[in-house]
Structure 1
Amino acid sequence: MERVRYAVVGAGWISQIAFLPAVAQTDNSEVAAIVSGSTDAARKLADFHGIPEVLAYDAYDALLASDRIDAVYIALPNSLHADYTIRALKAGKHALVEKPLAPTVAECQAMIEASEVSGAYLMTAYRLHHEPGTIEVLERIRRGEIGDPRVFTSVFGFQSAPDNHRLRAEHWGGPLQDIGVYCLNAARHVFGDEPTEVAAMGSHGDGDPRFSEVEESVAVTLRFPRGRLAQFIASFGTDEQDSYTVLGTKGALDVSPAFRFETALALTQRAAGVPQDRVVASDCDHFGAQTAYFSDCIRRGQRPEDDGAEGLADVAIMRAIEEAMSTGQAQPVTLPPRPAHPGPDTLRRVPRTDHRLVL
């Protein structure tokens, strides 16, 4: 196929500001349909982006049964990921699913099984696996430029709007699931390994009604093999910050900004506390890069690096973190090693665009 045809399922903020504008920047992907509960708004988006079809959710299965699309992009609340993904995979449509992959390990496993049975690919939307800044950080670590990485620390926080569905427990919302997952995923690939134990504390703020159902902030410590440690804080109630530091035996990497898609990643390499090098990543549309990569996988018949098992790993760890917060006791984690990590082969360079409509 020349271009992979996507249906965008869920036309909310992330689809409007990021995914829909990005796809047109690739040379191997296009959006053929929008599936939404607000068809009037979806039609405005479709007209703006030149998308031929708008459907309500009750027409989803008929779309999947047709030959009008090849893949879906699932941008629904976390609680709906598994249902809409499994339906697509069973129909033979490839699925790119926003993180976290699903609220439970069992749902993640069911999604993976549906992919294996049908042969359609399942990819977790880890956009940072495909942009140049993250790959540069990981390649410097692999080349031994800071010695052996021993400690990872990270902070990701901002003020969440009170009407955000990520503040609702029914959708498995909260700062851990929404932004802590970035810190967690970064630590796993910086060390190239899976944690063996987690400890955590959470706070519901100081009487802020936004945090009656989910935490305002979470603080997490993870033990990795070879005596390595990682810590991160994720918060919906602070000033904006997204950064991480990797401390090695011979140097360190400070990365700030680190996680957001609106800005280019910047890294400073230090030795003995003295800055040695500062690099700002080349401009790249993160969502365009991940879509171009997934479309390449589909066209080549190649399983994506950030597959369903990658998404399941973060969900399993986050569930252990929740248990640690609830019980006050450290929790063991047992996961198989990943067969691959982000690298030059997962990198795609897609230019940014200002052509977007946010309703």
Structure 2
Amino acid sequence: MEFDDVFDSFAERDWQTTTEGTVRFALVGLGWWTVDEAIPAIRETDLCEVSVLISRSVEKAERYAEEADVPHAMSGDDFHDGALAEEYDAVYIATPNAYHRAYVETAADLDKAVLCEKPMAESVETAEAMVEAAEGGDVPLMVAYRMHTEPAVRRARELVEAGAIGEPVQVYGNNSQPILSLIDDPNQWRLDPDASGYGTSMMDLGIYPINTARFVLGADPVRVQAQMASYDEAFADVPDERSTATAVYEGGVHAAFTATQNAYDDTELTITGTEGQLTLSPAFHMECRLELEREGYSVSAEAEDVNEMTEEFDYFADRVLSDEPVYADGEHGLYDMRVLAALHESAESGETVALD
């Protein structure tokens, strides 16, 4: 069948334009994600290296720099003062959401390319300021949607474009995890609205299926509705321990999404069309398997030796070295922030909210 070709070149880096050069990264925010995922992933890249670690505590930065054999370390204040600017080319920001803006603005002032974790900010207004700062400084701002460079997701998009499932009709996505088992601290920033933003489950987890559907379909949600509730005492400060959202994407594709920070680890995304179905399961927690089903035909695959973070960093570096536009850029991330704001507005009002 014609669609077999997509699976034959499953792990191909179809985005790659160069194999030459190195982008030196300053990593901002030394939580478990940076230390356990980003730094090891960058070691495996072709085009990146870590040259500076940055934390609010210079002692913490120096300790991790010594452990990871990174040549330079400094505090966030030193970064904002322009220290060590000659030692890095790009900035990776993995702080709590509410702190992203200041680092983006400083990086733009220093003429540094920016890779910022998702969601890009705690509010729409802050995200708008970040986009403005990057545009004003004429620096690339990419939001770190690592699913965009996950081979299974890229192949899913190709299959949709090739008509493998016919006309897309509906989408279902789920992302859940037991956050208090993963991080045994009820005072963690993901449960603090001052640091996380509108909430926790939809901001941190629900954004994965919502955004991945945008990427695979090549379409944006235009109307959304949501229900949210918190029951556990640890989630008293956030509105969405449990959350459910529905959306209508451009072209009339209907979608339903669920997300919670307080349940068994589970991730999936299913896109059903008039002639077939694509399923990503598992989908979002550093493993991704794709299955295509049509009448009398089924095939599945995963890129077992591919690290999603390694792909993401190499993609970003490829674009910086080639002076090509990044995707997802700040405007793309800003649209997601508007979707998240609309979902929380809907949960409060009980009404469907249209995206302008």
State the TM-score, normalizing by the size of structure 1.
0.88
Paired residues of 2:290 and 2:300 also in contact (CA < 8 A)? yes
- 1:154 matched to which residue of 2? 173
Instruction: Note the residue ranges of structure 2 that are not aligned, 5 or more in a row.
Output: 1-19, 181-185
Aligned partner of residue 292 in structure 1, secondary structure: helix
Structure 1 residue 275, shift from structure 2 partner: 6.1
The 5 A counterparts of 1:123-272 are 123-161=142-180, 162-171=186-195, 172=197, 173-205=199-231, 208-214=232-238, 215-261=240-286, 263=287, 265-272=288-295
**d(CA) in 2 for partners of 1:160 and 1:282?**
25
Is 1:296 matched up with 2:318? yes
Aligned partner of residue 222 in structure 1, secondary structure: strand
Aligned letter for 1:236?
A: Q
Match of 1:66 among 85, 95, 101: 85
Paired residues of 1:221 and 1:231 also in contact (CA < 8 A)? yes
Instruction: Call closer, same or farther: CA 1:64–1:184 in 2, change over 3 Å.
Output: farther
> Per-residue CA shift, 1:294-330, capped at 9, x if unaligned?
1111111111021101110110100000100010111
**d(CA) in 1 for partners of 2:140 and 2:149?**
17
Aligned partner of residue 158 in structure 2, secondary structure: helix
> Per-residue CA shift, 1:158-215, capped at 9, x if unaligned?
111134311111111401010111011012123211111101000102xx11110112
**d(CA) in 1 for partners of 2:320 and 2:279?**
35
- 1:287 matched to which residue of 2? 309
**d(CA) in 1 for partners of 2:219 and 2:141?**
22
Structure 1 residue 113, shift from structure 2 partner: 1.7
Aligned pair count reads 329
The 5 A counterparts of 1:270-349 are 270-272=293-295, 276-334=298-356
Structure 1 residue 45, shift from structure 2 partner: 2.3
> Per-residue CA shift, 1:107-143, capped at 9, x if unaligned?
2222112212222111100111112111111111111
- 1:120 matched to which residue of 2? 139
Paired residues of 2:144 and 2:312 also in contact (CA < 8 A)? yes
Instruction: Note the residue ranges of structure 1 that are not aligned, 5 or more in a row.
Output: 335-359
**d(CA) in 1 for partners of 2:306 and 2:136?**
35
Q: Over the residues paired in the alignment, what is the CA RMSD in angstroms?
A: 1.6
Aligned partner of residue 188 in structure 1, secondary structure: helix
Aligned partner of residue 276 in structure 1, secondary structure: strand
Moved more, 80-89 or 61-70: 61-70
Moved more, 221-230 or 76-85: 221-230
Paired residues of 2:225 and 2:343 also in contact (CA < 8 A)? yes
**d(CA) in 1 for partners of 2:97 and 2:83?**
21
Aligned letter for 2:334?
A: L
Aligned letter for 1:154?
A: G
Aligned partner of residue 295 in structure 1, secondary structure: helix
- 2:17 matched to which residue of 1? none
Aligned letter for 1:198?
A: V
- 2:71 matched to which residue of 1? 52
Aligned partner of residue 223 in structure 1, secondary structure: strand
**d(CA) in 2 for partners of 1:63 and 1:48?**
24
**d(CA) in 1 for partners of 2:21 and 2:138?**
20
Moved more, 55-64 or 120-129: 55-64
- 1:345 matched to which residue of 2? none
Structure 1 residue 281, shift from structure 2 partner: 2.6
> Per-residue CA shift, 1:68-127, capped at 9, x if unaligned?
211111000000011111111122111110001112222222211221222211110011
Structure 1 residue 244, shift from structure 2 partner: 1.1
**d(CA) in 2 for partners of 1:57 and 1:112?**
21
**d(CA) in 2 for partners of 1:294 and 1:227?**
32
